[in-house]
Copies of this chain bind each other. A is one copy, B any other.
Amino acid sequence: MVGAMTEGRPAAKPFPPAPGVNPDTVEAFVAQQWPARPNRATCHEVSGRHAVVEMPVTSEAVRPGGYISGPTQFACADLALWYAVFGAIGLEAMALTSELSIRFLRPAVGNRLQARADLNSVGSRQIVGTVSIWVDDADKPVSVAQGTYMAPRID
């Protein structure tokens, strides 16, 4: 996956993930917290500032025309951002999406989605990130998103 990240895509920053966070522990944490989750995503990469995920696309996620539905792409973007937040602040179920905007760029055809979230800022109250979503070619994103996670309230 990383090998496909070449020219024009952000290189992974040298930000180590929060203690105990790696692709395996992220997946295990999510599986434990959310046994009934709809999308059994794979975490390919996670650092203190980014994550790369892959999500299988089921037949019901395909809308008229044969395209992967917008909400499915949104789910993948949200997941990548959630995983990147884990990388930044640790395995914390209660970080919640505050807002997310998504733009659909081209028809999405395939049986999986991949997404990379890069965090733009990690504050004590808010974490903002930018996400790119694609099927097979990271240089041909099917959608891009940008949004905010709210850090768990500590009070």
Contact = CB atoms under 8 A, between A and B. Distances in A.
Interface in A115-147: 116, 118, 120-121, 123, 125-126, 128, 130, 132, 134, 136-139, 141, 144-147
Interface in A1-38: 1-2, 4-5, 7-14, 33-34, 36-38
A101 B78 CA distance: 12
A49 B8 CA distance: 10
Contacts of A94: 64-65
Interface of A: 1-2, 4-5, 7-14, 33-34, 36-38, 44-45, 47, 49, 52, 54, 59-65, 67, 69-72, 74-75, 78, 93-94, 96-106, 114, 116, 118, 120-121, 123, 125-126, 128, 130, 132, 134, 136-139, 141, 144-148, 150, 153, 155
Report whether over half of chain A's contact residues are helix, strand or loop; otherwise say mixed.
Answer: mixed
Given A34-B64, A62-B36, A144-B146, A45 B103 contact: no
A137 to B, nearest CB: 7
Given A2-B114, A71-B72, A146-B146, 15 more contacts: A4-B138, A5-B44, A5-B52, A8-B13, A9-B11, A10-B10, A13-B139, A36-B60, A69-B75, A96-B104, A98-B148, A99-B148, A105-B120, A120-B141, A144-B146
Nearest to A29: B64
Give the oligomeric copy count: 4
Interface centre among A2, A71, A72, A148 (most CB of B within 10 A): A71
